[in-house]
Amino acid sequence: MRALDRKLYRTLWQIKGQVFAVAVVVACGVAVFIMALTALRALQDSRDAFYDAGRFADVFAHLKRAPDAVARRIAEIPGVQVAETRILADAALDVPGLEEPAIGRMVSLPPAGRPILNEVIVRRGRLPAAGSGDEVAVAEAFARAHAFSIGDRVSAILNGRKRTLTVVGIVLSPEYVYSVAPGMLMPDDRRFGVLWMDEKALAAAFDLDGAFNDILLRLRRDAAAAEVIARLDQIIEPFGGRGAYARKDQISHALLTGELDQLRALSRMIPPVFLGIAAFLLYVMVSRLVTVERQQIGLLKACGYRNGAIATHYLELTLAVLLVGIAGGIAGGLWLGRELTEIYGRFYHFPALYYRPVPWVIATASAIAVMAGAAAALAATARVARLPPATAMQPAAPPVYNDILPGLLGRLTQPSRIVIRNILRWPLRSSLTTLGIALAVATIVSSSFGFDAVERMIQISFFTAQRFDVMLTYVEPKTGAVANEVARLPGVQAVEPFRAVAVRLRHGHRAELSQITGLREDGALRRIVTADFRAVPPPRHGLLVSPKLAENLGVVPGDDVSVEIMEGRRRTLSLPIAGVVEEYLGTPAYMEIEALGRAIGEPGQVSGSFLRIDPLAEPALFARLKEIPNVATVAVKAATVRSFRDTMAESMSIMLTFYIAFGGVIGLGVLYNSARIALSERARELATLRVLGFTRFEVSYILLGELALLTIAALPLGCVLGYGWAWGIVQAFESDMFVIPLVIERATYGTAIATVLAAAVLAGFLVRRNVDRLDMVGVLKTME
């Protein structure tokens, strides 16, 4: 081995603490990058394979009722490769073991058995036999939530008639990879399930013999989707068409795509921070080393070592650190990626998850890390490598420094003066250290704020806006008399009706499918809320819209939108935007219920009711609701909130733990490194002070006081940075489906600050041990 290489290994061993600290930061950056992008790739691969195998449709449309003959006309639309009709309806389910009714999405299976599009994959059992009236195949998620086995029974109210269905198969469908009840963001597999049934039986139940109410299209490669959708809308319009949409607006696909986008955003936002910090740490580390070894460098040059050889030496040292970090990062990233994919697998139902290490992702992560580190090392080495050897062999003159705070310094003790001077003497390094610590705080703030955002969503949506306990929807819009019936059910304390109408809103050339909900002006069970938690009454003239709807349509309050009612007489009217309300999910619009009834020409009709109930009467009420023919779906708010929280806890807390750990690692890495470097720079000075009779505590104070000051300065900065970063995440994570409120609670800042302070204490403790072991004789003997 060459002598220079030996020096390399010995130096690495000497500064192993720093090497480890930097390597861990590098590893975190590499790991997050690999984790996000391999999980992304796994989900994409799994999705594509599933979509392919299940022939996932390109265009979707729902309508009221069209005779089968219409299907031929649809199939003839230019660009359509396959058109398949089916029946799709929601029903209230009575599942053994579940007190309240669940929502069942009933999907028909063609007489031939398997559908051509959105084919289901049988996991267990079989599909319902042709002509069987009471056999169903159940989506795996629902089956798992209720531990269904083949032969189990479920009751369903199909179009007002109660039927007992037998589970004959457990299946997966590309259409329900992410299976959420209508209007929900989070899956609730106990209370929402998809059931496949023979078409004939379903047609008979819903009075759709010789007719269909849902259509799927597969397009040719060269088809213009927008045109096909327009033609399809024309054809189904007379049959109560609800507006066709492309795959990108299909709920499961859209939410899955949103998730993939988030992973991509993650891979762009987090790793640069880690690698930036790693580069900074390497820069400081190598700079320090080069300064310490300045005279050795001079000697090497005097002996005829070329500048390149010297730069290479330090580059190799850096590469060794990077290598350790990259190796750890690859191992960690692949492990985390697999775990993350598995977690996704709990929410996204694929027949198989294809996780594998993706070579280019690993190569890119390594290359970026190497480039960042090498740039840092070169920057640090360049200065000394260029010095003439005679100069390099002399100790460096201390940096020129002006006491800018002579008045203040005059009143401090000597050790405190040394602390302040050192901060001011290396202003760039001090500020970069502060920035590094601040980024540790920011990492935690910006990743934990997701919890605050979700809590805000829950507060606004489920408590301020939705004050009901139960929401019912009826099979068909009913007259107000139904509401009176509901009021007489056991335990019902208050009832308020609502009307929901499917609409297409247009503004300029933009169009958006939406639903207007009509609410009572004096309603207390379902309110519309603004950002400051204030309830506003539904407008009699005009619409209140969600921020996402306003954004997608490009409207501000006062603008007129064209409202195409997609039910009943299908009127088109013009309504002004009355305001924008605090709604995070989807694109809803609100209006006063009677005004809405008049506008659509169906006054007095209600789609459902909100109930306030006596909790003690719950079992009796739920039992009755399961029997009432007119009730299509029952949503129990408390259960929804619980499930929402559970889902969030499951999906977010693991990630959150990681991010807090990441923040801690950054903090520890920056602080430990700074402390070690300060120690190596000042070992002689500190040892001299010890020789002169200063105590260990005083000496430690000089060393750690500087870091303590920088840390304290970094905390508020980190909170501000964290807020800005959270803002960036909100922008990046926003999808067509929802917005994320930017709220950060004090506790979140508190956690971040506490974590970084803990890291600071740990770093101080680790270095303090070295101070205590300071070898007074040894330090004074070695020459610098």
Binding residues (CB under 8 A) for other proteins: these are 2-4, 6-7, 10-11, 14, 295-296, 298-307, 388-391, 393, 778, 781-783
Q: Which is nearer to other proteins, 240 or 389 (CB)?
A: 389
CB nearer to other proteins: give 3 or 226: 3
Query: What dihedral do alpha carbons 405, 407, 410, 411 form, nearest 10°?
Result: -110
Please report, for residues 260, 292, 310, 359, the alpha-carbon distance to residue 42 in angstroms, rounded to integers and kept in the order given: 10, 48, 44, 13
Closest to 47 measured CA to CA, from 257, 206, 190: 257
- Smallest gap from Cβ 387 to other proteins, in A, equals 10
Burial (CB < 10 A; 0-12, 13-18, 19+), residue 449, is buried
Under 8 Å between Cβ of 154 and 136:
yes
In angstroms, the CA 145 to CA 191 distance is: 9
In whole angstroms, the minimum distance from the beta carbon of 373 to other proteins comes to 22
Alpha carbon distance 446, 324 (integer Å): 28
Residue 683 Cβ, how far from other proteins at the closest point, in Å?
A: 13
Distance in Å, CB of 418 to other proteins, minimum: 24
Beta carbon nearer to other proteins, 136 or 286: 286
Closest contact distance (angstroms) between CB of 397 and other proteins is 8
SS3 377: helix
Least distance between other proteins and beta carbon 293 (Å) = 8
Nearest residue (CB) to other proteins, 724 versus 778: 778
Quote the least distance from Cβ 5 to other proteins, whole Å.
10
Nearer to other proteins (CB atom), residue 398 or residue 693: 398
Find all residues with CB under 8 Å of 408, minimum gap 6, and list them. 420
CB of 776 to other proteins, least distance (A): 14
* C-alpha to C-alpha distance for 262 and 667, rounded to whole angstroms: 25
SS (H, E, C) 182-210: CCCCCCCCCCEEEEEEEHHHHHHHCCCCC
Least distance CB 754 / other proteins (angstroms): 40
**What residues contact 192, with CB distance under 8 A and at least 6 apart?**
102, 103, 105, 142, 179, 180, 181, 184
Dihedral sign for Cα 498, 504, 505, 510, please. positive
User: 2 or 773: whose CB is closer to other proteins?
Assistant: 2
φ, ψ of residue 89 to 5 degrees: the values are: -150, 150
CA distance 50 to 177: 9
Q: Please report how close the Cβ of residue 9 comes to other proteins at its closest, in angstroms.
A: 9
Q: Which is nearer to other proteins, 53 or 780 (CB)?
A: 780
Q: Are 244 and 229 in contact (CB under 8 A)?
A: yes
What is the C-alpha separation between 605 and 116, in angstroms, rounded?
Answer: 38
393-406 burial by CB neighbour count: b if 16+ within 10 A, else e? Answer: beeeeeeeeeeeee
Question: How is residue 127 written in tokens?
Answer: 């599909």
Are the CB atoms for 613 and 469 separated by under 8 Å? yes
Both tokens assigned to 6 = 């030996």
Q: How far is the CB of 13 from other proteins (least distance, A)?
A: 9
- CB closer to other proteins, 17 vs 272: 17
Q: Which is nearer to other proteins, 8 or 327 (CB)?
A: 8
Pick the closer one to other proteins by CB: 42 or 679: 679
Nearer to other proteins, 2 or 221 (CB): 2
Place of tokens 């005059």: 410
Strand, coil or helix: 75:
helix
